[in-house]
Structure 1
Amino acid sequence: MSTPIPRPGAHLPGPPQSVDPEKIHTEVDGLLSRLGAVEPDPDDEHGVGVIPRKAHLLEKAHDVLVEALATVDKI
């Protein structure tokens, strides 16, 4: 007696999703390449304002990866 194992995301409506690794790689690389270009404002003598801007870019890259993993989990 063999019971079929449901696939993750099989219960979700809509067409099956796919993930393009090259697109994800390009998008994350683009975000990470912008980290070096973040410069402190002239009024920010200690460069403290750089940290939140870099954190924002890292968070966006993280979101791209999390979304890709969630999509793969549904396939």
Structure 2
Amino acid sequence: MSTPIPRPGEHLPGARPTVDPAHVREEVDALLARVREGASLPGAASTDQSVLLEQADLLERAHEVLVQALSTVDKI
């Protein structure tokens, strides 16, 4: 009656994926620092479309880093 319950991802071949929280934090912090730099550029109004588009792209990339980390953790 004590049949082991498989853990998520155990059925997948190869090594188990890992997530380094420090690396994820560094990557996201670097992207967010670039967002802050763009917001504080002298002469660039905060409503300048190119600045807003670049900031949106950087935030999207930071989001993807976090989503990928969460997806990997789900498989562990």
Report the TM-score, using the length of structure 1 for normalisation: 0.82
Q: CA–CA distance in 2 between the matches of 1:50 and 1:35?
A: 9
Note the C-alpha offset of 1:4: 2.1
Compared with structure 1, are the counterparts of its residues 49 and 13 closer, same or farther at alpha carbon in structure 2 (3 Å cutoff)?
Answer: same
Task: Give the unaligned 5+ runs of structure 1.
Answer: none
Compared with structure 1, are the counterparts of its residues 6 and 47 closer, same or farther at alpha carbon in structure 2 (3 Å cutoff)?
Answer: same
Aligned partner of 2:68 in structure 1 is 67
SS at match of 2:17: coil
Runs of 4+ in 1 over 6 A off after TM superposition: none
Compared with structure 1, are the counterparts of its residues 41 and 5 closer, same or farther at alpha carbon in structure 2 (3 Å cutoff)?
Answer: farther
**Percent of counterpart pairs with the same letter?**
55
State how many pairs are aligned. Answer: 73
CA RMSD across the alignment: 2.2
More helix by proportion, 1 or 2?
2
